Structure 1
Amino acid sequence: MKKVIFKGLVLAFFCFQSYIFAQTPAKDSPIIVNRDFMGMTLELILKELAGLYELELDYDPRQLPKGLTSIKIYRNTPLNKVLEDLLAETNVQFFLNSKKITIRPRVVTVSRVGKNNEEKKGNGTDNIQNELIEVVNSYIELKPTRFNITINGVVKDRKSGETLPNVSVQVYGTNKGTVTNIDGNFTLFNVPSDTTTLLIRYLGYQTTAYKITPEDAKGKLLVEIEEMSMELGEVVVTAEKESNMMKMSENLSQVSISPAQVSTLPSIGEKDIFRALQMLPGVSGSNEASSGLYVRGGTPDQNLVLLDGFTVYYVDHFFGFFSAFNANAIKDVQLYKGGFEAKYGGRISSVVDLTGKNGNTKKYDIGVGLSALSANALVEIPMGKRASFLLAARRSYTDIIQSGLYDKLFSLYGSSNNNNPNPNAPPNRLFQTQPVFYFYDINAKLTYNLSNKDILSVSLYNGQDNLDNARQQNRGGFGGGFGGGGNINIQNKTKDLTYWGNNGASVKWGRTWSPKWYSNAVLAYSNYFSNRNRTSKVEITNADGTTRNFSTGLYEDNNVQDLSLRLDNEFKINQKNQLEFGTQLTHNAIRYLYTTNDTTTVFANDNQGTLASAYVQNRWSPTEKLSVKYGLRGTYYGLTKKTYIEPRVSASYQLTDKISLKAAWGQYYQFINRIVREDVTAGSRDFWLLANDQDVLISSATHYIGGISYENDNYLFSVETYRKDMTGLSEFTLRFNRASLIGDNNTNNQNFFKGTGYSQGVEFLAQRKVGNFTGWASYTLSEVIYNFPEISEKPFHALQDQTHEFKLVGSYNIGKWTLSGTWVYATGKPYTAPIGGYQITLLDGNTQSYVSVGDKNAFRLPNYHRLDLAFTYHFKIDKAKADAGITFFNVYNRVNVRYKEFEVIDNQVYETNVNLLGFTPNFFLNFKLR
C-alpha cells in the first residue's frame, strides 16, 4: 500500500512539473497561450495573463477602457500576438520581456478646457503641447538607437479606420513637418532619433502627441487620432478647444473646412459645405439664391470643383438653397482662393477639392437625419479586413408633403408671375400654380486595400432636381381686338418641365512605391445636364364660335460630358525638395440648343474637344523659414491646335515665430465656359460651351497675390491683397447683335460679345481659435470691372461686383449646447434696367412690347444684410450620437432683393422687386450609431 501511495505521489509530482514547464517556457522560448476570456474587462485579462505566466504587470488603470471585452479565444497563440489583439483598439501599447509586461500610452490628446485650466490661457497652446510631450515622455522612457532617420506612416481616424488627407505632421521641437497625401501617407526626413515625438494636427480632431519607439521606426507608423467631439479616456491633458470649422493653411489663399463640424452653423436645411465656404473672406456671402462660389470676383464656372477626382459642373439643389454635396459623405475640403499650384488646371479663379469618405473599416455604422424639407441616410460597412463600403443618400419630400417652408421657398423661384406680381398689371395677367418639385442625391464608395502599398477606390455620384410647373388658364369676356369681334375666350395650357443635375464616377488607384515615391491614377467621368421645356398651347374662341390655335414658348437643353484620365506623382527627394509631376487627358462633349415657338432656333451648338496636359512642380525649402513652390503646366487644346503654358510660383517666409509673409503669381487658362445670357426683364440664365477662340474665347487670368499674417496660440490676424487680370471673357445677349452695332456680318454668331476685365481687392481676417467661444470676423474691399467695347462705350462693374462685404461667424459651447450665428453685410450688386418702353402693332393686329435699355450695369440693388442663428443640442441614445436643433434664417426679416423684373404696359415700364427669403425657421434631427 505504501508503494502504491509513493508511486502515486511521484506520478503527481511529475505531472505537476510537466504542467509548470508547459506554462512557464524556457527563457528564450515564446509564451504560448491557450485560453478563453469571456465577459471580462481588459484589466482583468491582463492581470490573469500576468499571474498565469508569473510576469510583473506595470500599468496605470486609468489608461485602460472599463467596459467588458468581447469573447476572446486563443489557441497556440504567442503572448505578444495576444497582447497585440487585446490592445489593438486602445490608446496604449505594450513592451514585453521575460519578466514583465509594461503598458504605456501611445498617444496623448488635447481635450476641452476645464475650470482648473483657466490660468493657462495666457500661455496658450504651446504650453499645452509641452505638457503633452512631458506626459508622453514620463510614461515612456526609451533610449534612441538610431539618429537622423527617415520615417513614414499613415494617419487614420481611430474609430472608423478612415485614412485622413492633409493632416499636419510635425517633429516636436523643430520646424520640420509635412502633410499627409490623399491616402493619409506621410514621410519625414532627418528625424532626430527613433524615439522622437510627433505632433499631429487635423481640423476637427484632437491635437495628438505620438511617441515613436525604435521598433516602430523600423516599419510604417500607424497613427490613429480622435475626433474633437469624441469623449476621451482618462489619459488626457486638459486644454482649450481649438476652432474646428475653418483653418487657414500655411499655403497662401488655401483654407480647410471640417465637414463634420459645419452642422453647427445656421442653414436653411441640412449642414452645407458650400454655405460654410461662402462665409470665408474673399468668397461672396450674399448669394443666398445660389450655392455657387463667387471667389475674389470670379464666377462659379471659373471654379474647378472636384469630388474624388471627377469634375462637378453645377453645385445647386433647390434653386441654390442646398449644395449638391452631402456633408455626411465628405471627409476633407480644401479651398484654394487663388494662386493655386500647377497640378490643378482648366479654371482661372479657384479650386475646391473634396475627398469623399471611404467608410468605416472596423465596424458597421448607420446614420439618419431629418429636416423640414428633406431626409438623409448613411450606411458604412466594413468588408473583411481590407475593404469598406459607404452609401449616403438624400431626398426632399417636397413632392409628397408641401410644408409651409417649402411654399415659402418655392414662391420665390417658381412661376415669376406668381411671386411678387406687379400690382399695376391687369388682373388677367395673374395666375396661380401648384408646382411639383423634389431633389435627390446619392453617394457610393467602395475602397479596397489591395496590399500594404496599394489602395483602390470606386466613387459614384448621382444628383438631380425635378420641377413640374404646368398650369392652365381660362380667360373670357374680352372685347374685340383679335379680329373676331364681340367677346372672346382664351384657353392657355402651359407645359413647364425642368430638370437638372450631375452624374459622376471615378476609379482611383494609389500606389506607394517607396517611402519617397507615391503615385495616384484616376479615371473619371462627369455629366452635367439641364433641360427646360416651357411651351404654351393657346386656343382663342371668338363670339361667333370660330377658333384659332397657336403655340408659344421655349426649349433649352444643355449637356456637358467630361471623360478624364489623370496620373499624379509625388517624389520626396529630401527634406528640402519635394517633386510633383503628372499628366492629364480630358475629352469634353457639349451640346446646347435654345429654340422658341417650336420652330425658331435661337442658338444651337454641338462641339467636342480634347485637352492633353502635363505639369511639374517642386517644393523647395532652402531654410526652415523659407518655402518656395514653383511649377509649370502645359496644355494642348485640340480645337485651337495650340499649346498653352502656365508658369506658377508661390513663397512663404517665416519672419518671426508669429509673423509670416506670403506671395504668389501665376498664369491660368480656361477652355470651357459658362455663358451668361442676359435677360433684362427677368434676370439672367446661363449655359455651358466649349471655347473655340471665335465665338467663345479661351479665358485667361494672371494672379498677383500678397499677404501677411500674425498668429499666436489663441488668435490669427491675416491680410491678403490680390489682383486678377482677365482676358477672353464672353457674354451672350439677345438685345442686339454685333452686325447691327459694327457692321460685321462675317461672325459665326451675332449675339456673342468678347471682353476683358480685372478683379482686385484686399481681405482682412481676425479669428479666435480656442476657447468655448470661437469664430472669425472678415472684411473684403473689392471691385470687378469688365470691358466689352461692342456693347458698352465704357468699362462697367460686373454683375458679381460688391464693393464692401463684412461677415461675422461665431460658435459658443455651453455644456451639451452649441449656439452659433452668422451675420453678413454687403453692398448691392449692379444690374441693367430699362429706361423706357414702346409697342409696335404687328401685321396680324397683335402688339409687341419693347424696352429701351440704359447703360450696362449702371444701377445697384439695395445693400444686403442678414442675421442667422442656430441652436444645437448634442446627446446620446445609449452609445449612439445624436443632435437636434433649430435654425432661424434672416432673424430680423430683412427684405433683400434678388433681382428686378420689368414689364412694359401701355408704353410704361413697371418695376417689380423679386425678393429673397424673409424670416424662416427650420428644425433638424441627426442620429448616428457610432
Structure 2
Amino acid sequence: MIQLKPITLFLLLLWASGLHGQTASVLGTILDENNEPIPNVNITAANLGTVSDESGNYVLELTADIPNTITFSHIGHSNVILENLILTTNETFEFNPVMKTGAIQIAGVDVSATGKKSIEGITTIPPEIVRKIPGTNAGVENILKLLPGVSFNNELSTQYNVRGGNFDENLVYVNGIEVYRSFLIRSAQQEGLSFVNSDMISDLQFSPGGFQAKYGDKLSSVLDITYKTPTSFELRADASLLGASGSLETISKNKKITTISGVRYRNNGLFLNSLQTQGNFNPRFFDVQSLLTYRFSEKFHLNFLRTFSINDYTNEPLTRQTNFGTLNDPRALLVYYQGRERNKFTNTLGALKADLFPNDHVKLEFIASTFHTQEQEFSDVIASYELGEVDTNLGSETLGEVVNPRGIGSQFNRARNQLDALIFNVSHNGKIAKNESVLEWGVKFTHEDINDRFRESEFIDSAGYIVRPPNSGLVNNEPEEPFTADILPFESVQAINDTKTNRLSGFLQYSKHTKLGEHDVYYNLGVRAQHWVLKGEVFEKNAQTVFSPRGQFSIKPNWERDMLFRLAIGSYQQPPFYRELRDSQGNINPNVEAQKSIHYVLGSEYSFTLWERPFTLISEAYYKDMTNVNPYTVEDVRIRYAAQNNATAYALGFDFRLTGAFVPGTQSWVSLGYLKTEENWDDRGNISRPTDQRLKFAVLFQDYVPSIPNVKLYLNLVYNTGVPGGSPNYADPYNFQNRLRDYRRADMGISYIFADEKNKHPKGHWLHRFKEFSVGFEIFNMFNNQNSITNTWVRDVDTQQQFAVPNYLTGRILNVKFGVRF
C-alpha cells in the first residue's frame, strides 16, 4: 500500500507558478440563417484574428484572464459581436454564431473567472473540471460535494444532501427532461453509475435553493444538465482499474443530423475489497446513452434521448471485525456470514423533444418521456456474531481479539422485494424574450404507476433459541407445558402496493432587466401549481392541490468594484412521491400531504483581480422554514419515512466560495459552509435532523509543474463535521442522537498530457492523430482516514440492548487510468 506523508502533499501544493501571458481558445462552427456553414468569416479580437474554413469551423486564440471582445464579419451578413469574454489560461470556450442579414447582433457573455456571472443564483461549472477531478464516483456529483451547502459522506454514493434536505428533495434535469433514480437501493455499494454521463456534458448549472418557479416542485435544489451538440466527429475512450467508458460524436455533411452516444462499465470490487467486511463481491454496473438531434430547419429541431442502465450487485459476505468504542472501553464486533445477497436494478428512459423557433423572440418546447424501472432485492444472509471487549494488552497472545463477550448470537435477514415503476411525462414549455423582458410558461402531465412487493424479515437466535418479537402476547411455560406456537421473526414487514398517481403541474414567470438610476436591476416573479390524484386498490382516491409563488431580485451597482447582490424568497412544496407514502409496515397512507418550505436567500458575488488574475467570492446566507414535514430515518442511502406530516423543521446557514485562477491556466476553489437544521416531532422539542452537518470545508485544486507543464495535478479535499448516527429501522430518533466522527478525505490525481488542444503534433508523429492523450494515476483517500457515515445496529441477545457499530468506508486505493480523444 502506498504511504503518502503530509509533507508530500505540502510540496505538491507549492507547484504554483508565476507564468504570465497565457492564452485561451474560442472555437465553434459559423452558420447562416439556412443552417449552412459560412467559410472565410473574419474573426478578430484586438490584434488577434483568424478565418473560418470551408466547413465554417474556426479556432481563435485569445489572451487569457482579461476581457475580450470578438467580432465575426462577412460580406453579405451583419456582424456578430461577442462582448466581455474572460477566459482562464488554457480554457476552451465553444461559441456557434448564426450570422443573419439583419441588424448587428451583440451577444453579451458576462463572464467572470468562474464562468457566467449569475443574477439567478445559479452556479455554473465547466464540464472539463467534472471530467478531470478525481473521486471514487468521478462525475457531476463528485464536484457538487465540493460546493458549500452540499454534502454526503459516503464516497460510493452519487446522492447528495443540500442545505439540510435529503436526496429525495433534489431535482435533476438533462436537456429539460426530468430524470429519476432507483427506488429500492439501500446501500451505496449497490448504486453504481450516476445517471449523468460526464463525457456528454456541455453545460452544468446548479442551484442550492431559492430557484425559479420554472424548475419544479422539490424542497432543496436543482441540477440542470445540457448534453453536447456536436460540431465535428469525435471519439473518446477512457479506461482504469475501475472500468471503462467511451463516447462518440457525429455530424452529417449537411449539419442537420448530430448524435452523441456514451457507454460506461464499472466494477467497484477494487473499493469493496478495502472494506472491513470480507467477502466475494461482484458489483457490475453498465449503461448506454444517446442523444440524436435532427434540424429540419432553423425553426424546427427534433431531439431523441435514450438511456439504458443495469446495476447487478452480488455479495457473498464472509467475515467482519470492527473495532469501536473508546480507549478506556474498546469494543469489537466479530461476525461470520453465510448466504448471499443479489440485487438487480434495470432502468430505461426514452424522451422525444421538439424545439420550435417561430421567430427570434419565441421558443417553444414539447417533450414526451417514459421512465421504466424493474428492481429486485433478494437476500438470505445469516450473521453469527460476537460482541465484546478487545484485548489491548501488548503482551497478550490474544492481542486485538474479542474477549469477555457480552453477547453471542445470530441474525437471519431475508428480503424478497420487487418493484416495477412506470412514469410517463408529457409537457410544454414556452419562452418569449423581447426588450430585456422574458415571459416563460409551462404545463406538464405525469402518470406514475407503481407496483411494489415488499417482504422483509429478521430472525434473532440466542444459543439455539429463536428470540420472539416484543409484545407478542404469547406465554411460554416450558417445560411444564409444551410450546407449540409458530416461529415468528423478531421484525417482519409484508405489503403489496399498487398505486397510480396523475399529476398536472404548471408555472408562469416573468423576468425583467432594467435600470434603477445607474444601477442594473433584475427581477423575477413566478408561481407554480400542482394538482394530483392518488389511486390504489385498497384505499379511496385522494386529490390535493398546491400553489408556490417565488421571486428573485438582483442588483449590480454601478460601483468601481464589481459587485452583485441577490435576494430570493419563495414557497417550495413537495407533493409526496411513492416512497414518502409508505410507512414502517409497508402500508400506503394516501393522506400524506405536500411538505412545505419557505426559502429566504441573501447572496452576493464579488469579482476582483488578485496576482493579475481574476477571482470571485460568492457568499450566501439562507433560512428555510419547513412545515408539514414527513420525518424519516436514514440507513446508508435508504430513506424510510414515517408517512405522517407530524413535524416542523428549519435550516439556516452560511456558504462561502472563493474561486479563480490560483494557478495561471487553471480554475480552483475553496468552499466553507455552516449549517444547522433541526426538526420537531409532535411538539416534543427540537432534535437534529439526519442531515445536520454543521461545518463543511472543501478544496478543489488544479496545478501543473512549471518546468513540465504537461504534468497536471488534480486534488480535492473534504472535511465535514459528523452527522447524527441514525436510529435502527424505524426506531424513535429522540433516543438516538449520538453523532458520528468527523469526515476527512483527500483524493489526488496526476496525469501526463501527451496531446491536447495546446500540444498538437506534426504529421508523421505518432501522436498526430490524437486530439487528446493522457496517462495518469489516482490515489483515493490518500491519508487512509477511517471514515464512517452509518451504523450497524447489533442487539445484545440477553438484554435486547442495541449497540451502534460504525460502518467504516473505503481505505486508501490506487487507480491507474488513461484517456484518448480522436
Paired position in structure 2 for 1:612: 504
| Contact 2:119–2:564 (8 Å) recurs in 1 | no
Q: CA shift at 1:673, angstroms?
A: 3.8
Paired position in structure 1 for 2:367: 522
Q: 2:747 aligns with which of 854, 863, 868?
A: 868
Q: CA shift at 1:223, angstroms?
A: 9.2
Paired position in structure 2 for 1:825: 719
Paired position in structure 2 for 1:92: 42
Q: CA shift at 1:206, angstroms?
A: 4.2
Q: Distance in 2 between matches of 1:91 and 1:690?
A: 64
- The answer to which of 817-826 and 380-389 deviates more is 380-389
Q: 1:859 aligns with which of 728, 734, 738?
A: 738
One-letter amino acid matched to 1:284: S
The structure with the largest strand share of the pair is 2
Match status 1:776 vs 2:776: no
Q: Mark the CA change 1:886 to 1:407 in structure 2 (over 3 Å): closer, same or farther.
A: closer
One-letter amino acid matched to 2:370: Y
- Counting only pairs closer than 5 Å after superposition, residues 266-277 of structure 1 correspond to structure 2 as 266-268=134-136, 271-277=138-144
- 3-state SS in 2 of match to 1:274: helix
Q: 1:406 aligns with which of 257, 260, 269?
A: 269
| Contact 1:310–1:526 (8 Å) recurs in 2 | no
Q: Distance in 2 between matches of 1:688 and 1:561?
A: 20
Q: Distance in 1 between matches of 2:303 and 2:731?
A: 57
Q: Distance in 1 between matches of 2:697 and 2:625?
A: 24
One-letter amino acid matched to 1:341: Q
Paired position in structure 1 for 2:443: 583
Q: Distance in 2 between matches of 1:716 and 1:196?
A: 25
- 3-state SS in 2 of match to 1:859: coil
Paired position in structure 2 for 1:633: 528
1:486-537 CA-to-partner distances (Å, cap 9, x unmatched) read xxxxx99735221125321110100110011111111111234432111369
Q: Mark the CA change 1:828 to 1:641 in structure 2 (over 3 Å): closer, same or farther.
A: same
- 3-state SS in 1 of match to 2:264: strand
Match status 1:353 vs 2:224: yes
One-letter amino acid matched to 2:555: Y
Q: CA shift at 1:563, angstroms?
A: 0.9
Q: CA shift at 1:782, angstroms?
A: 0.8
Q: Distance in 2 between matches of 1:686 and 1:755?
A: 16
Q: Mark the CA change 1:389 to 1:691 in structure 2 (over 3 Å): closer, same or farther.
A: farther
| Contact 1:267–1:889 (8 Å) recurs in 2 | yes
Paired position in structure 1 for 2:703: 812
| Contact 2:274–2:811 (8 Å) recurs in 1 | no
One-letter amino acid matched to 2:102: K
Paired position in structure 1 for 2:307: 461
| Contact 1:767–1:775 (8 Å) recurs in 2 | yes
Q: CA shift at 1:720, angstroms?
A: 0.4
Paired position in structure 1 for 2:11: none
| Contact 1:381–1:388 (8 Å) recurs in 2 | yes
- 3-state SS in 1 of match to 2:667: strand
Q: CA shift at 1:242, angstroms?
A: 7.8
Q: Distance in 2 between matches of 1:660 and 1:894?
A: 40
| Contact 2:156–2:189 (8 Å) recurs in 1 | no
Paired position in structure 2 for 1:902: 793
1:21-53 CA-to-partner distances (Å, cap 9, x unmatched) read xxxxxxxxxxxxxxxxxxxxxxxxxxxxxxxxx
Q: Distance in 1 between matches of 2:581 and 2:727?
A: 15
- Counting only pairs closer than 5 Å after superposition, residues 321-336 of structure 1 correspond to structure 2 as 322-336=193-207
| Contact 1:510–1:519 (8 Å) recurs in 2 | yes
Q: CA shift at 1:913, angstroms?
A: 2.2
Q: CA shift at 1:219, angstroms?
A: 7.9
1:228-254 CA-to-partner distances (Å, cap 9, x unmatched) read xxxxxxxxxxxxx985xx546413431
Paired position in structure 1 for 2:776: 885
Match status 1:342 vs 2:226: no
Q: CA shift at 1:309, angstroms?
A: 3.5
One-letter amino acid matched to 1:265: I
| Contact 1:366–1:377 (8 Å) recurs in 2 | yes
Q: Distance in 2 between matches of 1:507 and 1:368?
A: 27
Match status 1:125 vs 2:125: no
Q: Distance in 2 between matches of 1:108 and 1:436?
A: 46
Match status 1:787 vs 2:680: yes
Q: 1:264 aligns with which of 121, 132, 135?
A: 132
- Counting only pairs closer than 5 Å after superposition, residues 500-511 of structure 1 correspond to structure 2 as 500-511=345-356
Q: Distance in 1 between matches of 2:634 and 2:219?
A: 27
Match status 1:284 vs 2:122: no
1:338-364 CA-to-partner distances (Å, cap 9, x unmatched) read 111111212111111122234x354x3
- Counting only pairs closer than 5 Å after superposition, residues 75-86 of structure 1 correspond to structure 2 as none
1:695-731 CA-to-partner distances (Å, cap 9, x unmatched) read x332121111001221124111122011112223324
Gaps of 5+ in 2: 1-31, 53-57, 320-335, 384-410, 459-487, 535-541, 636-640, 756-766
| Contact 2:345–2:374 (8 Å) recurs in 1 | yes
1:757-779 CA-to-partner distances (Å, cap 9, x unmatched) read 11111111212247235311111
Q: Mark the CA change 1:211 to 1:593 in structure 2 (over 3 Å): closer, same or farther.
A: closer
- Counting only pairs closer than 5 Å after superposition, residues 203-602 of structure 1 correspond to structure 2 as 206=92, 216-218=100-102, 247=115, 249-268=117-136, 271-284=138-151, 286-314=153-181, 318-320=189-191, 322-358=193-229, 360-362=230-232, 364-385=233-254, 386-396=256-266, 398=267, 406-410=269-273, 412=275, 419-420=276-277, 433-469=279-315, 494-535=339-380, 553-575=414-436, 577-596=437-456, 601-602=493-494
Q: Distance in 2 between matches of 1:811 and 1:584?
A: 42
Q: Distance in 2 between matches of 1:346 and 1:284?
A: 21
Paired position in structure 2 for 1:698: 594
- 3-state SS in 2 of match to 1:253: coil
Q: Mark the CA change 1:90 to 1:631 in structure 2 (over 3 Å): closer, same or farther.
A: same
Match status 1:763 vs 2:655: yes
- 3-state SS in 2 of match to 1:313: coil
1:130-150 CA-to-partner distances (Å, cap 9, x unmatched) read xx56xx69xx899xx9xxxxx
Q: Pick the structure with greater CA Rg.
A: 1
Q: CA shift at 1:435, angstroms?
A: 3.1
One-letter amino acid matched to 2:685: K
| Contact 1:671–1:691 (8 Å) recurs in 2 | no
The structure with the largest helix share of the pair is 1
Between 1 and 2, higher relative CO (CA 8 Å, sep ≥ 6) is seen in 2
Q: Mark the CA change 1:819 to 1:242 in structure 2 (over 3 Å): closer, same or farther.
A: farther
Q: Distance in 2 between matches of 1:141 and 1:89?
A: 9
Q: Distance in 2 between matches of 1:551 and 1:777?
A: 47
Q: CA shift at 1:289, angstroms?
A: 3.8
Paired position in structure 2 for 1:648: 550
1:522-571 CA-to-partner distances (Å, cap 9, x unmatched) read 11112344321113699xxxxxxxxxxx9972222334332111111111
Q: What is the number of equivalent residue pairs in this alignment?
A: 659
| Contact 2:269–2:281 (8 Å) recurs in 1 | no
| Contact 1:108–1:208 (8 Å) recurs in 2 | no
One-letter amino acid matched to 1:466: D
| Contact 2:506–2:530 (8 Å) recurs in 1 | yes
- 3-state SS in 1 of match to 2:199: helix
1:672-711 CA-to-partner distances (Å, cap 9, x unmatched) read 3475899xxxxxx99999983x2x3321211110012211
- 3-state SS in 1 of match to 2:131: helix
For the aligned residues, what is the CA RMSD?
A: 4.2
Q: Distance in 2 between matches of 1:141 and 1:456?
A: 30
Q: CA shift at 1:627, angstroms?
A: 0.5
Q: Distance in 1 between matches of 2:584 and 2:314?
A: 20
- 3-state SS in 1 of match to 2:150: coil
One-letter amino acid matched to 2:42: V
| Contact 1:803–1:827 (8 Å) recurs in 2 | yes
Q: Distance in 2 between matches of 1:104 and 1:264?
A: 30
Q: CA shift at 1:920, angstroms?
A: 1.4
- 3-state SS in 2 of match to 1:862: coil
Q: Distance in 1 between matches of 2:500 and 2:581?
A: 21
- The answer to which of 628-637 and 453-462 deviates more is 628-637
